[in-house]
Copies of this chain bind each other. A is one copy, B any other.
Amino acid sequence: MPILVMKFGGTSVADLARIKNAAQKVRAEVENGFNVIVIVSAMSGKTNELVGWVNETSPLFDAREYDAVVSSGENVTAGLMALTLQEMDIPARSWQGWQVPVQTTSAHSAAPIEEIQNDNIMAKFAAGMQVAVVAGFQGISPEGRITTLGRGGSDTTAVAFAAAFDAERCDIYTDVDGVYTTDPRVAPKARKLEKISFEEMLELASLGAKVLQTRSVELAMRYKVKLRVLSSFEDMSDNAGTLVCDEEEIMESNVVSGIAFSRDEAKMTLTSIADRPGMAAAIFGTLSDAGINVDMIIQNISDNGRTDMTFSCPTEQVKRAEEALNASKEHQSLNFEALIADTEVAKISAVGIGMRSQSGVAAKMFNTLSQEGINIKVIATSEIKISVLIDRKYTELAVQALHDAFALEATA
Contacts and interface: CB of A to CB of B under 8 A. Distances in A.
Interface of A: 16, 19, 50, 53-54, 56-58, 61-62, 64-66, 68-69, 72-73, 75-76, 78-80, 82-84, 86-87, 93-94, 96, 98-99, 144-146
23 contacts: A16-B56, A50-B76, A54-B80, A57-B83, A57-B84, A58-B83, A58-B86, A62-B83, A62-B86, A64-B93, A65-B79, A65-B80, A65-B83, A65-B86, A66-B79, A66-B83, A68-B96, A69-B76, A69-B80, A69-B83, A72-B72, A72-B75, A98-B98
Given A58-B87, A87-B58, A65 B53 contact: no
B57 A87 contact: yes
Nearest to A56: B16
A69 B62 contact: no
B62 A82 contact: yes
Contact of A16 (B53, B73, B98): B53
A57 B19 contact: yes
Number of copies: 2
A86 B64 CA distance: 12
**Among A56, A72, A96: residue with most chain B CB under 10 A:** A72
B87 A79 contact: no
Contacts of A53: 16, 76, 80
A318 to B, nearest CB: 32
Given A62-B82, A66-B83, A72-B73, 17 more contacts: A16-B53, A16-B56, A53-B76, A53-B80, A57-B80, A57-B83, A62-B83, A62-B93, A64-B93, A65-B80, A68-B79, A68-B96, A69-B75, A69-B79, A72-B75, A96-B146, A98-B98
Contacts of A66: 79, 83
A40 to B, nearest CB: 12
Contact of A57 (B16, B78, B98): B16
Given A53-B16, A99-B144, A68 B58 contact: no
Contacts of A80: 53-54, 57, 65, 69
A236 to B, nearest CB: 22
Given A86-B62, A93-B64, A99-B144, A54 B72 contact: no
Contacts of A64: 93
A76 B72 contact: yes
A402 B147 CA distance: 58
